Structure 1
Amino acid sequence: MSDWLNQVFCEDALSGLARIPDGSIDLILTDPPYNLGKDYGNDSDQQSVAAYLAWTEQWISKALPKLKPNGSLYIFLTWRFSPEIFVMLKQRMTMMNEIIWDRRVPSMGGSVRSFSSVHDTIGFFVNRKDYYFDLDAVRIPYDAATKKARSRSIFVGAKWLEVGYNPKDLWSVSRLHKEHPERADHPTQKPLEIIERMVKASCPPDGVVMDLFMGSGTTAMAAKRCGRNFVGFELNAAYCEIIAARLASPPEQEMVKKRKPSKKTAKAEQPSTLRSKAA
């Protein structure tokens, strides 16, 4: 087994990517800092616009050679920077979808000088036409009322009625509230439901998913639960501890002990590796 497989490296992805052989990754699924001033224990989310876009182009250029020829990429972004970053990626890949994640934010508060922002933007890109994509793995079942309404003979035996419908490009999935059992001590944690959909659709069984900005480790958890391999990077040592705890927990247990990292711990950049017990 490769010495980098099913590991999360506690280091900067820009240097850590040298560990990963070119053409070895089936799916890049990543949620980089949005440059909105969030506290990740370092300055990665507090750059000038020019510096942020230059940094983004740098990691994209280093990461894409790691993809297999039929590989894919999903990237979470904010609407503030998605146009520029989509252009960067369109010069290298084919864009298949702009997916809108409706976070189901309550209708209260927000800006009084603009419309409230309640979504994240997700770009879905592929290398070439024969990219891996398993729609059947992520279809959404029709409810009983819909099936009953389509009970006429012309619909009997129709595959689409039995296996469900395409999830479309608007995903309405609630953000993780503070008391949610999945919630870890991370400010921008993504729901497993969304990440698992991407993994099942765009990474073959036993394939490899790479996340350059692991955060709380949701990509690694999703890959493990779905029977895929993973590799990733996380700069914050406190988040690396959270990832280790999540990967060591039973599959059905998503509760993570919430721990507020100290500023000293959060800022530490401690080279080490984490290995899943399933590796």
Structure 2
Amino acid sequence: MAAMNNDWIDRVFGEDALQGLQRIPDGSVDLLLADPPYGLGKDYGNDSDKLDTAAYLRWTEEWIDAALPKLKPNGSLYIFLTWRFSPEIFVMLKQRMIMNNEIIWDRRVPSMGGGTRRFSSVHDTIGFFACAKDYYFDLDAIRIPYDAETKKARSRSIFVGAKWLELGYNPKDVWSVSRLHREHRERADHPTQKPLEIVERMIKASCPPGGIVLDPFMGSGTTAVAARRCGRRFVGFELNPEYCALIEQRLAQLDGQTPGERPLAERSA
């Protein structure tokens, strides 16, 4: 049973999420942000992405059932998926939550190469789910501002003072954000690192200031970095000790510290 104290907050534990989730009290997390292995055989320094289809889907259902109770009654979930498994996993989640959006992340992959027997895959699928109809969502925090030319064109009296014109428009469900290529300034040594722009949009929209974001598969630590940058708390798990060290390094750089000045990521006993 999880201890009812806060020593799990702002920590990344070097352990399997299925065991580590027991550390977290039920009903204590505002946002669950999950970027699990996609079931494509990627090398994360272990065998976590080398399950066959049936085993992968069983494992997915197992961690979902372990993680969802940690959410508050008005909490939300974003999950990164590949099109290969998103239909099955969306069905799992729709039996447990309310589905708000299927978001398409256009990775802006250049038009070159690719397969010759099918269309090139250049997107990831993201599911946005909520525990209840009154889920937290701050649209104003993520509005996209209109440019000066657009505002000028909407100068008729009926538009004067319109909130949507002044603050910007609601992001659509297709997000065109470049993947982190090898020369990208954000890029760390991780094969499937997600851009801060995407993760910060999720956090600003679906986690209140000072709230807690849970990431069961921390990877390079983008969720932790984004939470810190956005004034939120975080907790997560990561199997690979090299990635745990990378997370500590990224957060230390963000805070202007030397890695190791605080016990962020640790191997559980």
Give me the TM-score of the superposition, normalised by structure 1: 0.90
Aligned residues: 258
* Contact residue 33 and residue 45 of structure 1 kept, 8 A: yes
Deviations 1:63-100 (A, max 9, x none): 00000010000000000000000000000000000000
Give the percent of matched residue pairs that are identical in Structure 1 and Structure 2: 78
Letter in 2 for 1:245: Q
Matches of 1:23 and 1:139 in 2, distance apart? 29
Structure 1: 5+ residue stretches without partners: 257-269, 274-279
2:66 equivalent to 1:62: yes
2:194 equivalent to 1:194: no
The partner residue of 2:245 within 235, 241, 245 is: 241
Equivalent residue runs for 1:10-25 within 5 Å: 10-25=14-29
Deviations 1:180-207 (A, max 9, x none): 1111000000000000000000000110
2:101 equivalent to 1:103: no
Equivalent residue runs for 1:166-185 within 5 Å: 166-185=170-189
- What is the root-mean-square deviation in Å for CA atoms of aligned residues? 1.6
| SS at 1:109 equivalent | coil
In the superposition, relative to structure 1, how do residues 272 and 246 fare at CA in structure 2: closer, same or farther (>3 Å)? Answer: farther
* Contact residue 139 and residue 170 of structure 2 kept, 8 A: yes
Name the residue aligned to 1:164: 168
Matches of 1:113 and 1:94 in 2, distance apart? 36
Matches of 1:142 and 1:252 in 2, distance apart? 34
Matches of 1:272 and 1:140 in 2, distance apart? 42
Matches of 1:240 and 1:40 in 2, distance apart? 12
Structure 2: 5+ residue stretches without partners: 260-265
* Contact residue 220 and residue 231 of structure 1 kept, 8 A: yes
Matches of 2:15 and 2:256 in 1, distance apart? 29
Letter in 2 for 1:95: M
Letter in 2 for 1:271: R
Deviations 1:141-181 (A, max 9, x none): 00112111111222111111000000010000000111111
Matches of 1:132 and 1:123 in 2, distance apart? 16
Give me the TM-score of the superposition, normalised by structure 2: 0.93
Deviations 1:226-260 (A, max 9, x none): 0000000000011001000001113599xx9xxxx
- 1:222 is displaced (CA, Å) by 0.5
Name the residue aligned to 1:132: 136
Q: Greater shift after overlay, 242-251 or 166-175?
A: 242-251
Matches of 2:159 and 2:199 in 1, distance apart? 32
